[in-house]
Structure 1
Amino acid sequence: MRSPFVPRTILITGATGGIGGALAEIYAEPGTTLLLQGRNRQRLAEVANGCEQRGARVLTHALDVRDQETLVGWVREWSAREEIDLVIPAAGVNSNIGPEGRGESWEEISALIEINVLAAMAVVDAALPSMRKRRQGQIALFSSLAAYHGLPLTPSYSASKAAIKAYGEALRGWLAPEGIRVSVIMPGYVESKMCREMPGPKPFLWPPERAARAIRRGLARNRPRISFPFPLNLGTWSLSVLPSAVSERILQLLGYGG
């Protein structure tokens, strides 16, 4: 029987966010090394201090993930120094069409794609050579339940999460024979600044600590898709298989229309 995979060195981008910070804390324990990235230096220091109090060794780097050269250099440097077991690109942002339906600006769209898609892919690309050489490692990619069916209020965000969903599924099929685990995380609404700024109803809102526990359990079991909460997961999945006209009408009735 294959022994369970227990990550001891974990890299998390977006560790100053709601879920990213909660994941850092839930993995913080004696014998664990955490490599944490965030933009907000003060918040990053607070997260690091909390994790150190739990017994973890913590190394931080404050940077904007849109600086791909610095981001990739950081991941490659630590991949050479440490055997990174688990990589979690959790940095993410959202944008929306606005209360008057004005639409998203190109600056908002391009920044969102850089952070949600390109930065996540850059982290994976930088960490993969070491994992493939060792034939061991795990990657957890953040998609969203919005990846099942695009929400009219958040078109670019929905598109970015659909891209990550497809990317993660493809990586899993490619890398599984090499001993590398890949999971796609698809949360519903999780309490955070980003979530509060999103328009529309927020049913079944979870605190970040609960989300982090569900994610850790799912990763320990090597689940292909870690999606929650169940009622919202079922509902959003249904939107992807119903006729488009029906799905669009449901979204309008629920307050997610443009």
Structure 2
Amino acid sequence: MSAAPNLTTPERCVLITGATGAIGGALARAYAAPHTHLVLHGRQQDALSRLADACQALGAQVTTSSVNLVDEEALKQWLHTLRKEHLPDIVIATAGKNAHPQPNGALEPWDDVQALLDINLKTPIAMAQHLVPAMQKRGSGQLVLISSLAAWHGLPTTPTYSASKAGIKAYGEGLRGLLAPYGVGVTVVMPGYVTSPMCNAMPGPKPFEWPPERAAKVIKRGIEANRARISFPFPLNFGTWWLAILPAAISQWLIKRLGFNHTDHSGSD
């Protein structure tokens, strides 16, 4: 963990995991400003260092970490130290990964499934467990959980990813009502396709793909308004929402017609 010189007194602390990813990096730059302490987590240390430099140049105080988020004890110790130094005002859990079925209809490898569920679902929930009690005591804070439009209806091209994003969507929705009386907000973000290596590796069509900077702008605006859900782009959100409410046979017919049933690709991020 490293820290930049404290040239200004931070007025807010923003924690972003997955900061070396496309959305996480764009959000870090969007939040970088004087009187802001950014805690940026990422696995790619060179990219993380460059991002920290860019955010410092915009006036932010920056702390970085590459702690293993799926190591429960390491995560606990990191967040315990962070709570003591500066409890985050906003926590944005963007770290995640994808996995795909193998050719000829073979399921995703079990090791890939476990790794995906650990980072996409268990880690954000564990972060809430470690940070929420202190936020409740303080009477303020906001958790931002990254779901996906794939949470509306599972896709044959990414069944485990869809399941993890549906799970974090439901968790965030439940948590929002639970924590509202304590002044703690919860926002669930449901992006469509955002340009990134993970997006590029996904099989199937990618309609209405957005650059990460555009996604970050919309997410930041929604966080500031404490919106319960931030979903985009509208045409794809509207279409996938219908998949969730139509009879399953119709939804699955539409998915096949749109080309999302093709699984002769594989890969993980």
TM bracket, shorter-chain basis:
over 0.9
Distance in 2 (alpha carbons) for counterparts of 1:124 and 1:240: 27
Deviations 1:178-204 (A, max 9, x none): 100100000000000111111110000
- Determine if the alignment matches structure 1 residue 189 to structure 2 residue 188: no
Distance in 2 (alpha carbons) for counterparts of 1:70 and 1:83: 17
Answer whether contact 2:14 2:38 (CA < 8 A) is retained: yes
1:100 partner SS: helix
What is the match of residue 149 of structure 2? 145
What is the match of residue 38 of structure 1? 42
Answer whether contact 1:30 1:54 (CA < 8 A) is retained: yes
What is the match of residue 167 of structure 1? 171
What is the match of residue 20 of structure 2? 16
CA RMSD of aligned residues (A): 1.0
Letter in 1 for 2:217: R
1:155 aligned to 152, 159, 169, which one? 159
Distance in 2 (alpha carbons) for counterparts of 1:184 and 1:158: 15
Letter in 1 for 2:26: A
Distance in 1 (alpha carbons) for counterparts of 2:57 and 2:104: 46
Distance in 2 (alpha carbons) for counterparts of 1:211 and 1:233: 14
Q: Which runs of 5+ in 1 are unaligned?
A: 1-6
Distance in 2 (alpha carbons) for counterparts of 1:23 and 1:98: 33
- Determine if the alignment matches structure 1 residue 233 to structure 2 residue 237: yes
What is the match of residue 65 of structure 1? 69
1:76 aligned to 72, 77, 80, which one? 80
Deviations 1:200-257 (A, max 9, x none): 1000000000000000000111110000000000000000011111100100011101
Residues 61-140 of structure 1 correspond to what in structure 2 (within 5 A)?
Answer: 61-140=65-144
**Aligned-residue offset at 1:83:** 3.1
What is the match of residue 3 of structure 1? none
**Aligned-residue offset at 1:62:** 1.1
1:138 partner SS: strand
Distance in 2 (alpha carbons) for counterparts of 1:68 and 1:15: 20
Letter in 1 for 2:206: K
Answer whether contact 1:38 1:64 (CA < 8 A) is retained: no
What is the match of residue 32 of structure 2? 28
Letter in 2 for 1:250: L
Letter in 2 for 1:178: Y
Letter in 2 for 1:223: R
Number of residues paired by the alignment?
252
Answer whether contact 2:67 2:78 (CA < 8 A) is retained: no
Distance in 2 (alpha carbons) for counterparts of 1:256 and 1:77: 44
Q: Relative to structure 2, which stretch is displaced further, 57-66 or 131-140?
A: 57-66
Letter in 2 for 1:220: E
Answer whether contact 1:87 1:124 (CA < 8 A) is retained: no
2:254 aligned to 227, 241, 250, which one? 250
TM-score by length of 1: 0.95
Letter in 2 for 1:243: P
Letter in 2 for 1:183: T
**Aligned-residue offset at 1:99:** 4.1
